Amino acid sequence: MYIVVTPAKDEEDYLPAVADAVIGQTRTPKLWLIVDDGSTDGTPEIVGDLQDENEWIQGIRLPPRERDITFHYSYVCRTGFDLLTDYCDCAANHIDYDFIGLLDADTVPEPGYFEKLINEFDRDGSLGIASGHIHDMPDGNVRWGEIKRDWPDGRLPRGSGRLWRKECFFDTGGYPVEPAPDSISNAKAIMRGWNVKRFGHIVAVQLRGTRSAEGLWKGYKTSGSIAHYVNKHPVLVFLNSCYLAAKKPHYTGIAYGYGYLTSVLRRVKQIDDEEIRDYYWNERLREYMRGVLKSVHPAESASNSLYR
């Protein structure tokens, strides 16, 4: 059994499709909590109708605030996780669950999405965090027939559409109130011996382009600033900037690099967590090098102790 949190702010255009997909899952959540972050459109009415029609769907409403994809987004999610887990663990309710999920209000999972993920957890007892592959369809229309299902497994889980094994979620301190909370959660899980994985044959559709809610320039500039905040190694920042600049729209790579450089030059405060700073400066770079070595010399990488 699993429970899910969805943060939502002004999502009247996307939430109905997401709700239809969650209700239509081959294995529905035990509880689904939608956290309305002070929406000013029809989102509260949509959430209210969902609650009235489905006893396993609940909603809460937070005071209105400006949209923010850094600390405030993670605060909204953390509020939902704390309320949901406390409710389930309360002796009066005593709701058993094995997995905890996060699904953004613009992400539509395929009908068997969560059941397929749970099957992967059942196959691998060390799997702590997993997601499917998220495809962008920013025109708002879901066309499952156009989606490829041969993306390579093994990459880091996405933020939306992820499941934590319950033990891993609490072992890593729950959901961090930090910029890049999902990346930090991945890092904490890896450092504590859990496997984290994205599965290419399990898919969901994102109805709005990644980081586009506030405009792509601002979104990717913020991502660059977050790269400095977590102490990501400059080599990785440079490679990521080049990767983004090679795709359309090309300016996202410039925005990402600009956000990182301005934060460095202004000596913006970094995360207090020394474990995370060390991970992104050292271990994340080693992981990248191991991945490069494996792609170039797959047989050799298995026996090369330098990259273990």
Range 9-25 average pLDDT: 96
Q: Is the pLDDT of residue 305 over 60?
A: no
Q: Is the pLDDT of residue 26 over 70?
A: yes
Does residue 247 or residue 301 have the better pLDDT? 247
Q: State the pLDDT at residue 293.
A: 65
Provide the pLDDT confidence category of residue 53 given band limits of 50, 70 and 90: very high
> What are the tokens at 35?
């956290």
Q: Give pLDDT tens digits for 66-101.
A: 766 678 999 999 999 999 999 998 877 889 999 999
Architecture of domain 2-206: Alpha-Beta Complex (3.90)
Mean pLDDT lowest among 37-46, 49-58, 60-69, 201-210: 60-69
Answer whether 209's CB lies under 8 Å from 216's CB: yes
Q: Is the pLDDT of residue 300 over 50?
A: no
Q: Where are the domains of the chain?
A: 2-206, 211-298
Range 282-299 average pLDDT: 72
d(C-alpha 33, C-alpha 220), whole Å: 29
Assess whether the previous peptide bond of 152 is cis (omega < 30° from 0).
no
Question: What predicted TM-score, i.e. pTM, was given to this entire model?
Answer: 0.85
Answer whether 175's CB lies under 8 Å from 185's CB: yes
Q: What percent of the chain has pLDDT over 70?
A: 91
Q: Give pLDDT tens digits for 203-220.
A: 999 998 665 556 788 889
